[in-house]
Amino acid sequence: MERLSKVVQRVVFGDPEEVLEVLCGNNSDDKINTSYVERLNLTIRNSLARFIRRTMNESKDQRDAFKSFWILYRHGIIL
State residue 56's pLDDT score: 55
Q: Distance between CA 13 and CA 11 in Å, rounded?
A: 6
Where are the alpha helices (H) located in 1-79, listed in sequence order? 16-24, 35-47, 62-74
**How do residues 23-70 score in pLDDT, each as one tens digit?**
666 555 666 667 777 887 788 777 776 666 655 556 667 787 788 778
State residue 70's pLDDT score: 82
Amino acid making up residue 20? L
pTM over 0.95: no
Is residue 15 over pLDDT 80?
A: yes
**Which has the minimum average pLDDT: 5-9, 13-17, 25-29, 47-51?**
25-29
Other Cβ atoms within 10 Å of 42 Cβ, number: 10
